[in-house]
Amino acid sequence: MVIPRWLNRVVVAKSRVAPLKSVSIPRLELNGALLLARLYATCKNILKDYDVHFYAWTDSQVVLSWLSSHPRNWKPYIANRTSEILDLVPADSWCYVPTKMNPPDIACRGLSPKELPTCVLWWKGPQWLSYEMDSWPKQPKRNDQTSSVSKERKRTAFSFPVAIKCDFIDSLFLKFSSFTKIIDIFAFCFRYITNGKARVGKMKNLDSKGKYHVPPLTKYERRQAICCRYRATTSKQLMGDLLTHRVTPSTPFYVGPINILRYRGRGAKTTKEYIALFVCFVTKALHLELVSDLTSEAFIASLKRFCARRGASKHIYCDNGTTFVGSRRKLQEIFKFVSNLNENEHFCYFLSQVNIEWHFSPPVSPHFGGLWENNYV
């Protein structure tokens, strides 16, 4: 009969959630061993007045294989963590425990609150831990040739530089795949050299060490009467004044059609619409109005919006389109009808002031409207 020698109780425990990034199981076990080593370092400061021998247990033989070798043999991720673990806990203090007897696995697998108070493995650990070391599970032989261990081993590569003399022309053909590419590279190099040369402007080819100095000769030449006569400038023609209509705001024209999306969402459709251009003859200012179609009613509505914002025009120049011709006819009919009412003298006087005079360019003659033709490019 084996009599227990020690009393086992849980004193402190700590767990950590696995990271969101995918990490292999051996690396997670290594992070758990690092967490245990840091927890031991904290407890060691508390129990520094007692003679305590520490044993660290893990159910991962891969982690034990990493800890049994020097950290420089492993990749940086493994080397950094094993180095910190060995600084806190020596390698001979690490032991293997079967997975079914490992209490920390309860925190990983989870346990209901109802079962936790009666879980002996969590509160007291495995039963053999209370006995002598001879009754502990036998430690398996470390195997460093497994795939999980070998995958993290650092591979050392050696390079031996060898100097080989190679002709310059041969090296170009080895570096580039086509002769055309070599020609382009040479052209770029020569262009860079040519552009990088220092220059002094027009006098770069001047013979400054000649018999006569050029600046005094140039100054003497300019003072001669015959030279002044030959260098005389011709008179410039004075431009005539602009026409009266060129200094008054005017000019509509159409651009389009363009597709416009009235709203977004399911079942939304685009509609075909146009843009009316109003160009000022004085300042060349451009005013745009959106027109729903090419009817006279749509243009009159856009003209109404333009006059409300910019003021009424005395003259309108446009092409001989049916939209503009029909709009003029309707506006003149309305103007004559209202003018003949004779009910309000001030109202009739106001209509006579805002009457618009239309000027149409000849049919099939877009060059007559160059001022507004340039604005819808």
Of 254, 286, 249, the residue nearest 273 (C-alpha):
254
The β-bridge relationship of strands 249-261 and 270-280 is antiparallel
pLDDT tens-digit readout, 14-45: 778 777 888 888 888 888 888 888 888 888 88
Residue 4: how many CB atoms within 10 A of its CB?
A: 13
Sequence-distant (6+) residues with CB within 8 A of 136 are 95, 128, 129
Q: What is the pLDDT of residues 130-151, one digit of tens each?
A: 777 777 777 777 666 676 777 7
pLDDT in tens, 37-72: 888 888 888 877 777 777 888 888 888 888 888 888
Query: Tokens 């451009």 correspond to what residue?
Result: 286
- State the first-to-last Cα distance of the chain, in angstroms, to the nearest integer: 105
C-beta atoms surrounding 95 within 10 Å: 14
Determine the pLDDT at residue 94: 84
Q: How far apart are CA 299 and CA 314, in angstroms?
A: 17
- What is the edge-to-edge ordering of all strands in the sheet holding 286-291? 249-261, 270-280, 286-291
What letter does residue 178 receive in the DSSP assignment?
A: -
Task: For the chain, give the percent of residues with pLDDT over 70.
Answer: 78
For residue 118, the one-letter residue type is T
Helix (H, G, I), strand (E, B) or coil at 324: helix
Per-residue CA distances from 75 to 83, 143, 156, 193 (Å)? 12, 18, 11, 48
pLDDT > 60? residue 376 = no
Per DSSP (E only), the strands in the chain are 56-58, 94-96, 249-261, 270-280, 286-291, 315-318, 357-360
* Mean pLDDT score across all residues of the chain: 76
DSSP 181-218: HHHHHHHHHHHHHHHHS---GGGGG--TTSSS-HHHHH
Write the pLDDT tens digit of every residue in 201-257: 555 555 656 666 666 777 777 777 777 777 777 777 777 776 665 555 444 455 667
* pLDDT per residue as tens digits for the range 254-305: 566 788 787 787 878 888 888 888 888 888 888 888 888 888 888 888 888 8
Query: Which three-class secondary structure state does DSSP give residue 273?
Result: strand
| 142 contacts: CB under 8 Å, gap ≥ 6 | 61, 64, 65, 68
Q: From its phi and psi, is residue 117 left (phi > 0), alpha (psi between -120 and 50) or beta?
A: alpha
d(CA 96, CA 84): 19
Determine the pLDDT at residue 286: 84
- Predicted local confidence at residue 210, as pLDDT: 63
Q: Which pLDDT belongs to residue 349?
A: 59
Nearest alpha-carbon partner for 348 in 336, 330, 357, 365: 336
Output the CA torsion 332→336→339→340 (10° steps). -170
Q: Is 153 a residue whose pLDDT tops 50?
A: yes
Q: Is the pLDDT of residue 327 over 70?
A: yes
What is residue 1's predicted lDDT score, i.e. its pLDDT? 42
pLDDT at 50: 76
Decide the pairing of beta strands 286-291 and 270-280. antiparallel
Q: Quick: pLDDT tens for 196-206.
A: 776 655 555 55
